[in-house]
Amino acid sequence: MTDAIADTDILSTFGKIGRMNLLAVLCSKIYITPAVYRELLQVERIGFIWVASVKRAVELLPMTGEEIRETERFFSLYPQLGSGEIESFVLAQSRRLLCLTNVGVLLGILYNLRKIVDRRVIMSTNHLL
């Protein structure tokens, strides 16, 4: 099994249906970025109880100075993405992690950069969205 990094969108999808265990079957460790952690805390404060199961299943991965600079560069290139998605992508690249997302825009950007995913994955994922 491989280690992965997940964005808030995919975690909320599995958390809401109470099936974080399915991601654990696919990945040995699931990491989150500081931005994803902040997003989860905001949702938890509102009262969404599914966040507790997500927090138990993930580990916060701090970012290096170089990763923070790369994140800032991506913010300017892709303003349509949120901080959680961008940080997840940057850490997936720099740490060689599987990137778990269901954000079609991010998958399109990854395909255009010819990194991490191949065309078949993008096409099948876009049909599911």
pLDDT over threshold 80, residue 128: no
Closest CA to 5 of 111, 119, 90, 128: 90
Residue 114 in any domain: the answer is no
Domain-embedded: residue 113:
no
Assigned domain for 49 exists: yes
pTM above 0.85, yes or no: no
Check pLDDT > 50 for residue 126.
no
* Domain-embedded: residue 121: no
**Is 67 a member of any domain?**
yes
Q: Which domain holds residue 97?
A: 2-102
Residue 124 lies inside a defined structural domain of this protein: no
CATH number for position 15: 3.40.50.1010
Is 51 contained in some domain?
Answer: yes
Between the CA of residue 90 and those of 37, 50, 69, 74, 94, what are the distances in Å?
16, 26, 10, 8, 6
The pLDDT of residue 87 is 94
| In a domain? residue 112 | no
* pLDDT tens-place string over residues 69-120: 999 998 888 888 889 989 998 999 899 898 888 766 555 555 555 544 444 3
Can you give the pLDDT at residue 123? 33
Q: What is the pLDDT of residues 22-62, one digit of tens each?
A: 888 888 999 999 999 999 999 999 999 999 999 999 999 99
Assign 127 a pLDDT band (cuts: 50, 70, 90). very low
Question: Structurally, how many domains does the chain consist of?
Answer: 1
107's CB contacts (< 8 A; 6+ apart) are 101, 117, 121, 122, 125, 126
Query: Does 123 or 13 have the greater pLDDT score?
Result: 13
